[in-house]
Structure 1
Amino acid sequence: MSWGLCYSSQDHTIALPLLHVKAVANLKELAAQVKITQTYFNDTDEALEAVYSFPIPARAAVCSFVMIKQDETRVLGHVREKEEAKQIYNSAIAQGMLAALMEQRTPDVFKLAVGNIQAQEKVHIELIYVTELAEDEENDSIRFHLPLHVGARYGETPDAQAQRLLQTSGAFLEILVDVEAVAPIAKIGSPSHTVSTELGPDPALPNAKELPFSNYARISLSSESALDKDFVLTVKSAGLDAPRCIAELHPTLPTTALTLTLVPRFKLPDVSRQEFVFLVDRSGSMNGARISAAKKALVVMLRSLPAQGSLFQIASFGTGCTSLWEDGSRPYNQATLDDATRHVDGMNADYGGTEIRKALQKCFETRKIDRPTSVFVLTDGQASDLDGVFKAVKGAVANAPAQAYLRVFVLGIGNSASTAMCEGIARVGNGTCMMVGEQETSFTGKIARMLKAARTPLITNIAVDWDVPAVEVPTAVDEDEEFVMVHDEEAPDSKGKRKEMSVFDETLDPLQTENQPAPPPPEVVLSPPAQVQQSPFKIRTLSPGNRLNVYAILQGKTVPQTVALTGLAEDGSELKLSVPVTLSHLPNVLDSPPAIHALAARKIIQDIEDGQHAITTSVPGDADLLARTVKASIVRLAKTYSISSSQTSFVAVDESGTQHASPPVSSIPERPQMKGFARAMKRTPFLASRKMAQPRARFFAVPDSSTDSDGGASIEEINAAAASLRSISAQAGSELSSQNQKLDLLLDKLSASSSQMISTASLASDSVGAPKADEKLNNFFMTSRSRAGPSRTADPLPMDPLETLARLQSFDGCFAPGVLSTVQLNVPADEARAALGVSEEVFATIIAMAFLSTKLGPDVERESWEAIYDKARAYVEMALKSVASTVGVDELQAQAVSYLAD
């Protein structure tokens, strides 16, 4: 897939020079409103029609598109049904008008076609989207993620004229972020880039002096060149995890939108018997730091499983799928834990492509059905068949027995991991999703949250009472009938009598057939929107430590005083929380809908696309009618709240009166400064059309480690395909030996080039903004990576103290005596053990517990090591009970803390 503004010339795709990129984001509460403006220059002597593709997070709602001409005229985009938008665009192009069409390709990739860009003119593309913010590694912290793939992939040096424009326009990339927190900001920074941070509100605000200084911050980044990775900003402030509900009145419509958010904190007994399946992506693109991150996550997760009643399995997938134990999951004990650890240490990214649907189906088919199952997917990729993947997950979850329910969790690894796929699988799988950037060296808090959610029993009957008056709440029948059918019945005549018809008309031939097209299906007429439209339509996941976001659009302007969240635990306990509602006064960006309404509408549409809705037909079993009703419901929501969707597009037409002839694409000459790029393109066949050029295959001159959802291939995937080609060639017979030798020579060159690029990219990623290890903390550890066995993976992540300790813990929680040669003490080990009066195993475990609870440092959240600690504590308690000890665990741990070196 091509990122940036491109056009087709002589069957090749050419990129227009990208002169400037500016991103302005406003972070308030737990949402962000982002405006991205990109400036392109048509340096040819012909009018062009070009294509612009860009990525955004799947959880975001694109709510505004503006095309700005060189004379500063703003051409606004309007939301129309997809086919209608295409017709408007094509008609405008045929008339020689400047026009643009923006449509959704996948939930996290959008495409814009711009027609009749005049020669030697600049075009500004302005996009606005709103997105909710994800939780970060620590408690009370959030993460803002800005994809930068557009500027990174097509920021080649333009020709002399464009270069002069670039020099006069200043920096190539500008990022400006304004942060407003509900409490003083405790920590703010970027793990991906070096930024400039200034505390306090923007002095330009009229009431700046009245605002609390420590609750505001301004972050900026300026670069003269394109960046090669996404921008990430983290903010920590007290109360970000606290429950809150924000209401927003629509400025023109009679509706009120609300967002309820919190990070739950409650304690329930763990699920007593459960199966854990770890599905690991080992495709070629996982090479380097990504496979190392997956292995590190597995080491900690395996030690965090409950010691009693657990079965587990490790499956690896790429082009195919294999399992550690082909006969199924095995009981969790020391022998199976050792086998699994050796298996993890030997993992490499050598499984070819990314066939995630087949791998998931295999896991679902081989799971145990006598207990709940949690599947953990660790991947960096994306699927070309998202609908098929979601369908497989939804079907497996829906068909699971009530007492053996299925949940699917996802850990997305790397900057190119598809948020649409990762978050989508977790959403329809009733699990949670965490994303880990390539520059992150510590993410144990994220995997700990996932495991905690998996160990928490299923909460049922989760509902939100939006405090809507009873008389306004639709009945159950109304919720299931969101539309009515209009039947075209025979109308009576003016006298109230029906028209008479002869039973035997001699003028008609009963054997004669009329060659007429079938009548169009009757139009779907939707009922008025329900009084409460909520997303998630049915809340299926509520777990400690994992943020819950619920949205609603209420008809009317009445703002509720409070909302109530309720749920039912397996033991019959009722969970309940009442949250007061605060009215938002957040100003809206010009030409953009209100943020909470846009996000709520996006989430409701997402539910409808997932099949989570109350839409039914008055004709049971009519699949066609259901599909048309679903489409009509999506279109109505998207048009009402001005957002792009799978069924709607933005279309903008400059009707100022200036018209130009639309030139044929083949008449556009090749630009001199792009000759090298064009020569690379000539090695790849393209489908060229006047509207858009879609590649059949891709061999880019520019390194690109990401994967595509529409057939593009990264260098890693080329290597994976090469492995398949070798296999096919070998099976073809000895007569192909000479061809095989030539192929091997070519592929070896490709592989060497790929490895060098991947290694360079990984080193660059690790060196920019990566947190430094605490020297005092590292002094506690005397071991190195050799303890984990040999590793053939390039650029492994350094083993942190938590992973080192985790590898020394047995399945039952006991720590090996190796802890005593790893953790430094201020007294001889024999003397400390004698003072505690416990066995060698208990002593090593107590020392490990003391270290975990006091020496990991403030940056390592308790939930990162809580499961490991709890297993160790349970082991010590049982050991002390077996010898009738009168000394408690807390007393022993407190004494052990005093023996730890400073």
Structure 2
Amino acid sequence: MVNCGLLTVKNEPVPLKSIEVVLQVQGHVATVSSTLQYTNEENSPLEAMFVFPIPAEAALCRFSVKIADQEIVGKLQEKDKAKEEYDDAITSGDQAILLEESQESEDVFKLSVGSLPAGQSAAVTFVYITELSVQADHSLRFCLPAVLNPRYSPPGTDSGVVSEITSSANIPYSLSFTANVSSPNPIVKVESKCALEPLVFLNADHTMAKVSLCADHKFDRDVELYLYYKNAHQPTAIVEAGVSKPGTLMGDPVVMLSLYPEFPEAIMSTMSSCGEFVFVMDRSGSMGCAMHNGPGAQLRFESARDTLLLLLKSLPMGCYFNIYGFGSNYKSFFPKSVKYTQKTMDKAVKRVNEIEANMGGTKILGPLKHIYKKQCIPNHPRQLFIFTDGEVGNTKEVLSLVKDNATSHRCFTFGIGEGASTALITGMARNGCGHAQFITGSDRMQPKVMQSLRYALHPAVDDISEVWTVPAGMSTIRLSQPLNVLFQGQRALIYAQLNGESQSSSEGTVTVKYHLAGQEVSNTLSFSLKPAENTGLSIHRLAARSLIRSLEQEWQTEIGNREALKARVVELSVESGVTSLHTAFIAVHKGSGEAVKGPLLQRRVPTPGRMYLSAAMPVLCGASAPKASGGQPSLLLGCFRKPKKSKVRGGLGMPKKRESKDHLLQLISLQKASGCWDMDSALAQVFGRTEEEVVEHTPVQVEKRVWATVLALIWLHGFKMNDQVEWQFVAIKATAWIHDQKVANLSECVRVGNALLGCQVKEEALGL
């Protein structure tokens, strides 16, 4: 194994001394301020280049450097001009720092620190604003990423900054993290997988609070906060006043609408049995890494494999499916999608149990192109489920391909493990009219994937439009991209600029109309035009970020109007103070004035074995990737390890050491494609009984499979109600199968089954 972390001439890491992160949350919006304190302890001037992640949807809006007692605030410029100024500064003996977005992925930034004199200390601060994502339990999630995984770039491409990641053994710096939370609704609680100091409420109505990480926190994993507000899951609107010339984006008020569509119950209670489900599984080397650093962690591909088998058991009869594995190349289980039957399901389950993370790099473009070229099956809409740890270097090319095929392919994505690219995972789902999920730490993947399957089986929303009503003298200018997807209970965001002045009414409305299962549905939200207080232009900057991204996408696909689009992006970026693909922050501190002779030393800030770093913790770029054992560039760059081989048992293929914990997955693994269970010893073992005991209690004139299936339903409702989201489709299939059997004495089956299993489940609860 090659240690590819560049150290100092004394074989010591470049000393990043400390990291301080302050989080300001206002409702659904977070402002993150990160400060890096570091020192050049070498005897020569130092140039360092760092790579760090921020969420793809965030707006990076401030950058400053404090050297000694002087603070220099970075200014946004057109990128080529900023780079030229940076080069001129360090050549002249000045200190300069350049902050730019990666060309390959919008969630990765590079920080170049030029000509820091020997013995000099500096503090670099940058600020970004981001929307908090809504979770299934209505909490709001904030994540400070501690991991930036190396992104695999296909051979022959310009890998750029996203693949130039290195590692070392130690993290010699400390982290301080504090969150200040305010909300229009009372704050119920704040939770985290990391140890927190007690939550402190700052006012009597609990709308303001403060919380910090415990002082001994080791920054070797993502810092995730889950914020719980009262009545958070409801439509809201925030209007923010402008601060400059009226008629411009930053001069006019901007409104942010958070919509939570509620679909008619009659439509949502029906499930489609049609569809072509294509499961795309990342089998690259990095999928052999653990889900987290704690004890008993599953490997990424093991968790994805278990989930894939659960999906296979949950599909409705009559649909079609196929499974692809990809790494440096790709393979499909079937030449084309096959009808879902007991035979095809059994064949797929057997092959899924045999897969490993042994296919090299992460070339996702190939299988996607292959799938998109396949002819779709009439009346069976194609839906892609993509499982990956998100480590690719050609993100924008992938997103463009997904967008081009969105009319015929819906795309659901699952980012596995810490460090998955938010740009790739959320971008594929957004461009593919689907939904994105992230599975980190000790999260169970199954509930999140089942939620996406529920979205896939419900009718798709189409023909989405908006109707705005504002007072006379005012008009609206849409700043965010048009909505292309809506899901039940999932937040949809809209940004709009309010132009002109109102002479009368102080209220506006927006009505979102769409078609769902042939019916026209509409949701209306009224909002006050009175600006909110103390928002700090966060809404304007998020809106600017949304508009800039739309224009950048146009620029990438446009042929004849690229210069005009680029000029507009630069103009918006400089006006709003939000970075873009075509701009960069530059800060220059006048130094000795003596020209630098010879090349500057280049150093990397080391991170531990899994490339740990934060949005405040950069790692220097610049090394080429070592080769893994198969001759392909290793994704792990210094922590490559061969995936552990797990002893596979029947069913869902978990290692034997987990068998006792997974009775639910064991039960699901035994279900037939039609929805029933056979009576055998494996099923009885799940119930904690022998096969003889279970058979002995079979009610009179009840067929064994009916008895087994009723018992399985009772067991699920009696012992696994907390996991219902995982087995809901399994139960739906089982209930439908029992109905088809026309069983005369179901009530007696339920009574005896309850007695046998020690449950008190009512017949109506089983849907029978």
TM-score (norm 2): 0.82
| Contact 2:90/2:596 (8 A) holds in 1 | no
**Which residue of structure 2 lines up, in the alignment, with residue 113 of structure 1?**
112
Matching residue of 2:96: 99
Give, as a single letter, the amino acid of the residue that structure 2 aligns with 1:718.
Answer: A
Give the corresponding residue for 2:225: 233
What is the letter of the counterpart of residue 338 of structure 1? D
Q: Which residue number in structure 2 is paired with residue 786 of structure 1?
A: 649
Q: Which amino acid aligns with 1:80?
A: Q
Amino acid at match of 2:599: S
Separation (CA, whole Å) in 1 of partners of 2:169 and 2:521: 60
In structure 2, relative to structure 1, the CA distance for the partners of 1:714 and 1:185 (3 Å cut) is: farther
Match of 1:86 in 2: 83
Tell me: higher relative CO, structure 1 or 2? Use CA pairs within 8 A at least 6 residues apart.
2
SS in structure 1 of the partner of residue 253 of structure 2:
strand
Partner of 1:212: 206
Contact 2:129 2:542 in 1 (8 A): yes
Amino acid at match of 1:663: V
> What secondary structure is seen at the aligned counterpart in 1 of 2:215?
strand
* 1:813–1:875 CA contact under 8 A, matched in 2: yes
Match of 2:199 in 1: 199
Equivalent position amino acid for 1:455 in 2: L
Q: Equivalent residues in 2 for 1:167-566 (5 A)?
A: 172-180=174-182, 188-191=190-193, 193=194, 195-201=195-201, 208-212=202-206, 216=209, 218-223=211-216, 227-252=219-244, 253-266=250-263, 267=265, 268=267, 269-288=270-289, 289-308=299-318, 310-326=319-335, 328-370=336-378, 371-398=380-407, 405-437=408-440, 439-469=441-471, 472-473=474-475, 531-535=476-480, 537-556=481-500, 560-566=507-513
Residues paired across the two proteins, number = 708
Match for 1:568: what amino acid? H
Cα 1:255/1:459, change in 2 over 3 Å: same
Find the aligned partners of 2:396 and 2:412 in 1 and give their Cα distance: 18
2:696 is the counterpart of 1:834: no
1:395/1:794 CA distance change after superposition, 3 Å: farther
Cα shift readout 1:360-387 (whole Å, capped 9, x = no counterpart): 1111122524231001111113322223
Which whole-Å CA distance do the structure 2 matches of 1:278 and 1:804 have between them? Answer: 21
Q: Distance in 2 between matches of 1:443 and 1:237?
A: 25
Selected match of 2:543 from 600, 604, 607:
600
The correspondence for 2:563, drawn from 628, 649, 654, is 628
Please point out which of 711, 718, 731 is paired with 1:847.
711
> CA distance change for structure 1 residues 150 and 420 in 2, over 3 Å: closer, same or farther?
closer
Change (3 A) 1:854 1:143: farther
Q: Secondary structure at the match of 2:112?
A: strand
Amino acid at match of 1:273: C
Which stretch shifts more, 272-281 or 256-265? 256-265
Following TM superposition, by how much is the alpha carbon of 1:625 offset from its aligned partner in structure 2, in angstroms?
Answer: 3.6
Q: Give distance in 2, aligned partners of 1:585 and 1:457.
A: 37
Q: Of 562, 567, 576, which residue of structure 2 is paired with 1:641? A: 576
Between the aligned partners of 1:311 and 1:751, the Cα distance in structure 2 is 39
CA drift of 1:189 comes to 2.7
Which amino acid counterpart does residue 453 of structure 2 have in structure 1?
L
Q: Is the 8 A contact 1:92 1:99 kept in 2?
A: yes
1:568 and 2:570 aligned: no
Q: CA RMSD in A?
A: 4.1
Distance 1:807 1:46 in 2: 63
3-state SS of paired residue (1:198): coil
Q: Is the CA contact 1:567–1:576 (under 8 Å) kept in the aligned structure 2?
A: no
Cα pair 1:7 1:14 within 8 Å, conserved: no
Kept in 2: contact 1:9–1:667 (CA 8 A):
no
Tell me how far apart the structure 1 counterparts of residues 29 and 750 of structure 2 sit (CA, whole Å): 42
Render the CA deviation track for 1:634-685: whole Å, top value 9, x for unaligned.
222222211111111112233xx654324235365x9xxx9xx99xxxxxxx
Residue 580 of structure 1, CA deviation: 4.3
Q: Secondary structure at the match of 1:410?
A: strand
For residue 39 of structure 1, what is the aligned residue in structure 2? 37
Normalised by the size of structure 1, how large is the TM-score?
A: 0.70
Q: How does 1:771-782 map to 2 (within 5 A)?
A: none
Is the CA contact 2:15–2:38 (under 8 Å) kept in the aligned structure 1? yes
Displacement after TM superposition at 1:278 (Å): 0.3
CA distance in 2, matches of 1:76, 1:894: 74
Distance 1:722 1:114, change over 3 A: closer
- Residue of structure 1 equivalent to 2:765: none
Q: Give unmatched runs, 5+ long, in structure 2.
A: 150-164, 245-249, 290-298, 614-618, 760-768
Q: Kindly indicate whether the alpha-carbon contact (under 8 Å) linking 2:477 and 2:497 is maintained by their aligned counterparts in 1.
A: yes
Q: Distance in 2 between matches of 1:469 and 1:797?
A: 64
Cα pair distance change 1:557/1:446, threshold 3 Å: farther
In the aligned structure 2, how far is the partner of 1:857 from the partner of 1:125? 50
The structure-2 alpha-carbon separation of the partners of 1:394 and 1:222, relative to structure 1 and needing over 3 Å to count, comes to same
Q: What are the Cα deviations for residues 164-217 of structure 1, in whole angstroms up to 9, with x where unaligned?
A: xx8xxxx711122233456555554323x3x1232332xxxxxx333327x745
**Residue in structure 2 matching 1:74, options 61, 67, 71:** 71
Q: Is the 8 A contact 2:391 2:420 kept in 1?
A: yes
Alignment match, 1:666: 599
Question: Could you tell me which amino acid in structure 2 is paired with residue 848 of structure 1?
Answer: A
Letter of the 1:594 counterpart: L
- Give the deviation of 1:595 after TM superposition: 1.5
> Structure 1 residue 427: deviation in Å?
1.4
Q: CA deviation at 1:579?
A: 5.2
- C-alpha separation in 1, matches of 2:467 and 2:659: 46
Preserved contact between residue 182 and residue 240 of structure 1 (Cα < 8 Å): no
Q: Structure 2 CA distance, aligned partners of 1:871 and 1:34?
A: 46
CA distance in 1, matches of 2:519, 2:354: 45
Partner of 1:864: 726
Any conservation in 2 of the 1:196–1:221 contact (CA below 8 Å)? yes
Deviation sequence 1:193-246 (CA, Å, 0-9, x none): 3x1232332xxxxxx333327x7451323347x632222223344433332222
Q: Does the 8 Å contact 1:49/1:114 carry over to 2?
A: yes
Relative to structure 1, is the Cα distance of residues 796 and 555 closer, same or farther in structure 2, using a 3 angstrom cutoff?
A: farther
Asked if structure 2 preserves the Cα contact closer than 8 Å seen for 1:378 and 1:412, the reply is: yes
% same residue:
26
Read off the aligned partner of 2:477 and give its amino acid letter. V
Residue 776 of structure 1 is matched in structure 2 by: none
Letter in 2 for 1:595: S
Q: CA deviation at 1:436?
A: 0.8
- CA deviation map 1:711-769 (0-9, x unaligned): 96767x62343599xxxxxxxxxxxxxxxxxxxxxxxxx9998438x77xx99xxxxxx
Residue type of the partner of 1:423? T
CA distance in 1, matches of 2:141, 2:463: 30
Rg (Cα) greater in structure? 1
The alpha-carbon deviation at position 317 of structure 1 amounts to 0.7
Q: Secondary structure at the match of 2:56?
A: coil
Answering whether residue 603 of structure 2 is matched by residue 703 of structure 1, we say: no
Change over 3 Å in CA distance of 1:808–1:440 after alignment to 2: same
